[in-house]
Structure 1
Amino acid sequence: MFVLVPGAGGSGWIWHLVVARLHAAGHDAIAVDLPADDETAGLRDYADLIVASAGAADDVVLVAQSLGGLSAPLTCDRLPVSKIILVNAMIPAPGETGGDWWANTGQEQARRDNDRAAGRDPDAAFDLGVYFFHDVPQDLTDYAIAHGRPQSGAAFGLAWPLPAWPDVPTRVLAGADDRFFPAEFQARVARDRLGLDVERLPGGHLNPLSRPDELTKALLE
């Protein structure tokens, strides 16, 4: 079973196009909804919901997008996870808070450098359309914005509790056009923290919405 974990905002809806394609290919798949707007819910609570969503599955491929990279690995001691697949995901270090991850990895500087290289003003006001929805079809963008939930700070405040990344085969997929976590940035973090190379795919940060065919194919490889 594919268990697909969303990023900030917690909406499993971002995976709906991929879930449909996995089902069409004959695979069980479920997208997890997380209580992103609950200020009392932290990563452990997210992990509990991921485990509950997996039910009695006897083989789990755990797919985590963006912020989902912090919570998904916390389930590997409770689920029969055969593989972790990260999609434009945060990769934590032991003892690091989600809030510290940004400065520790140099994400802001990487974003700014990428903006300059692309001719965008790195000092312009942050725009969801520029960094998240630039390659997402308009109807999906409109729905996502209309139904989006704020992300609470609870997921960013506590130290990542594992002593090391789980001993589970892991793949790192990076959107070649990701403007928020540029692909070169993701490659550096994956290499430094996991000793892994990234697999580059078409699309930006929300490629589950913008490039579901290519992403689904990659998940099935």
Structure 2
Amino acid sequence: MTTFLLLPGAGGEALYWSPVADLLRAAGHEVVAMDLPADDPTAGLTAYTELAVAAVAAVAGRRDVVLAAHSMGGFTAPMVAARIPVRAIVLVNAMIPLPGESASTWGDAVGSEPARLAAASAGGYAADVDLVDTFLHDVPAEVLDPAVVANGRDEAEIAFTEPCAFDRWPDGGIRVLVGRDDRLFPRDLQIRVARERLGVEAHVLPGGHLLPVANPQAVTAHLLAVAAG
């Protein structure tokens, strides 16, 4: 049995991992899907890391830990991995930081905004960041109600400005999953960043930015493959 630690992106809500968590539990694994205090102005990456480490420690009889992080959860992932042994890290449409980088400076460093605008122009969709057009365009309403998302928590500024405190990414055991139709972090941007910063070739899956709810079967299949070694 593997323990899967699922870290959310900005907003800190575990519901974005819910379909994947259900599939992993049905396959017989332990799942820790984190709800993080994203709207707490005093709780940043260090606080998220402490909560994640404590949640994994509370799992009775845990064995292998596979850490999966979505979107901004990529900034918490290396800090958690520096604190507890993890068998693998799976990054899902995730921001991939360098040591000491902050989420507020990541976009300029990797060129995410020019890439997003160019992808919108090439794809013929709106360039503005919009709840429905950017995030929910491929997610059925019965899976994730737009009203629920609209009432979600905003990420406090501290999480964007706090440096990501880790020394280096592991040399191996990292898998990068990219949504082919991600409108926030376009596919080609993510593929390039994974190569440049991790030396990893990304796996491209059908789906947009909210890949764990847009295509939970494919994400789960990759997580189970990692668990199987």
Structure 2 length as normaliser, TM-score? 0.91
Total equivalences in the alignment:
219
Query: For the Cα contact (< 8 Å) 1:58–1:80, is it kept in 2?
Result: no
Query: For the Cα contact (< 8 Å) 1:81–1:168, is it kept in 2?
Result: no
**Unpaired segments ≥5 residues, structure 1:** none
Letter in 2 for 1:171: R
Query: For the Cα contact (< 8 Å) 2:64–2:87, is it kept in 1?
Result: yes
Letter in 1 for 2:55: S
Q: Deviations over 1:120-140 (max 9, x none)?
A: 243xx4211111111111131
2:76 counterpart SS class: helix
Deviation at 1:78, TM superposition (A): 2.5
- State how far apart, in whole Å, the 2-side matches of 1:190 and 1:95 are: 17
Percent of aligned pairs sharing the same letter:
47
Q: Cα RMSD between the aligned structures?
A: 1.4
Query: For the Cα contact (< 8 Å) 1:69–1:90, is it kept in 2?
Result: yes
Structure 1 length as normaliser, TM-score? 0.94
Structure 1 equivalent of residue 134 of structure 2: 131
1:5 paired residue among 4, 7, 13: 7
Structure 2 equivalent of residue 51 of structure 1: 53
Q: Deviations over 1:146-199 (max 9, x none)?
A: 541111111111222222213451000001111111111000000010111100
1:172 counterpart SS class: strand
- State how far apart, in whole Å, the 1-side matches of 2:98 and 2:88 are: 19
Distance 1:133 1:203, change over 3 A: same
1:39-188 alignment to 2 at 5 Å?
39-55=41-57, 56=59, 57-122=62-127, 125-139=128-142, 140-142=144-146, 144-188=148-192
**Unpaired segments ≥5 residues, structure 2:** none
- State how far apart, in whole Å, the 1-side matches of 2:12 and 2:109 are: 24
Letter in 1 for 2:134: Y
Letter in 2 for 1:3: L
